[in-house]
Structure 1
Amino acid sequence: MGVGGYEDIQLDRTGQAFRTIGDRHDEALLREDGRVAAGRRLLARLPAGSRVLDLGCGTGLPTCRQMAEAGHEVTGVDLSAGALALARRHVPRAAFHQAGIADLWTGGRLGAGGPHDLGRFDAVVAFSSLVTLPRAELAQALRGVHDLLRPGGLFGLSMVEGDGDDVAIPFLGHIIRVSGYPRADVRQVVTDAGFVILEEDSYAYAPPATGVLPERQLFLHCRRPA
């Protein structure tokens, strides 16, 4: 089934959604220095009252809360009903939708021309959400994000720096599938999708009290040209 030219994006991502999400998950993300710092960088560039989309928002912490508390109009999407139930409590001023990535593209139910078109945004963040895509799908996903942004809009992205495609890893008692990329490859696929990279940061991170070795997270701060 084609969805606005993104027909290779898999529609069923329910296997990636956490079925049990709680305080341990929130604590892990609130300790993720790179994600918190990336939110602050975005806030420093955003005009007042901007529309912000958090793609893979989870429980709304920390990013949706950061954006909403700064006075922005925040929309979050995620596959996990459990995560969204918490997000609505954590960030009552934001709007949340249970949706997958393909729902947002042209022709999808939340995309342009769909029955519940969310419109375009001044900023999109995808912190650790696009890492769950197989490598073959990343370029298309980034073009979809590009289309969701208004000209001149901002894009905050984090990816795992490494070399693996759709690899199963443990995370807080769950098994998820992620893809890692050499840094040069991430830069290339982002610029090929039409973004200008403004800045980048890199952080070592491991969930607390898990025994998992730290991974290197790459944060890119980008803009869609006007």
Structure 2
Amino acid sequence: MSEGFLETGHESDEAGPDTRPDREGQAEAFDAIGDRYDEAFPYKQGQLAAAEWLIRTLSAGSRVLDLGCGTGLPTARQLVDAGFEVVGVDLSRGMVDLAREYVPGATFHRLDIADLGPDGSHDLGRFDAIAAFFSLLMLPRTEIPGALWTIHELLVPDGLFTLSMVEADVDYFTIPFLGDTIRVSGYLRDDLRKVIEEADFEIVEETSYTYAPAISDVPPEEQLFLNCARRD
């Protein structure tokens, strides 16, 4: 998995009051992982290519949300370098601190996706595009459709959405991860397409990559990347 879940600005250092206890445990795991994350996942071909799709498709100066920004590498930096206004959110305080250090041209907030919805505690405005690389898999399956609708509502009409998931038929399954444990969910690719389309997104492009992390305790995985457009 290439990003956790889910600066020059410094607001919103605390997650909202409705943060779920087990999600806080997820954040603590990524706090402990820190810089080792990028060391374990040095090759991010699919993630780089999906961000390049945004760069090719969006107008100059577009506003982009990196949902589950991790350390800000490579996505937030890639988008900032392309001249976009980038906002990143992540539930891990450690990841947000690193992202602010590595990508000072973006703005980062420590927030849960639940904080961003219609009943959430923070209004970050609307976005021309949203990237969610390996962040939705940190949620139970029951929460993923709601998260997708939140993303839909955060986008402007005809906004773009790019995401990645690991192909696996699991629901909030506990796995060892970089010396800690996290819980992850996944879909088989046909099921993933269905849940994305049910949230009123059109899938424009789809790619997949077989990925072997540079560590022993995380097995090879099939990574799915979907580039989508918001339907109205």
> What TM-score comes out, normalization by structure 2 length?
0.87
1:149 aligns with 2:165: no
Which residue in the other structure is 1:4 paired with? none
* C-alpha distance in structure 2 between counterparts of 1:213 and 1:20, whole Å: 20
Which residue in the other structure is 2:14 paired with? none
* Selected match of 2:81 from 58, 61, 69: 69
Question: Relative contact order: is structure 1 or structure 2 higher (C-alpha 8 Å, sep ≥ 6)?
Answer: 2
Amino acid at match of 1:163: D
Which residue in the other structure is 2:51 paired with? 39
* C-alpha distance in structure 2 between counterparts of 1:89 and 1:132, whole Å: 24
Amino acid at match of 1:224: R
Aligned-residue offset at 1:211: 4.6
Deviations 1:35-93, CA, capped at 9 Å, x for gaps: 12211122111111010001110110110000001110000001111111110011101
Aligned-residue offset at 1:10: 6.5
Amino acid at match of 1:100: D
1:213 aligns with 2:213: no
* C-alpha distance in structure 2 between counterparts of 1:88 and 1:61, whole Å: 11
- Matched position secondary structure for 2:162: strand
Unpaired stretches in structure 1, ≥5 consecutive residues: 1-8, 111-116
8 Å contact from structure 1 (residues 164, 179) kept in 2: yes
Matches within 5 A, 1:20-39: 20-39=32-51
* C-alpha distance in structure 2 between counterparts of 1:109 and 1:222, whole Å: 27
1:127 aligns with 2:137: no
* C-alpha distance in structure 2 between counterparts of 1:154 and 1:125, whole Å: 9
Which residue in the other structure is 2:112 paired with? 100
* C-alpha distance in structure 1 between counterparts of 2:53 and 2:101, whole Å: 25
Amino acid at match of 1:59: T
* Cα 1:34/1:214, change in 2 over 3 Å: same
1:165 aligns with 2:171: yes
Amino acid at match of 1:165: D
Aligned-residue offset at 1:143: 0.6
* C-alpha distance in structure 1 between counterparts of 2:46 and 2:159, whole Å: 21
Which residue in the other structure is 1:80 paired with? 92
- Matched position secondary structure for 1:123: strand
Which residue in the other structure is 1:113 paired with? none
* C-alpha distance in structure 1 between counterparts of 2:74 and 2:177, whole Å: 18
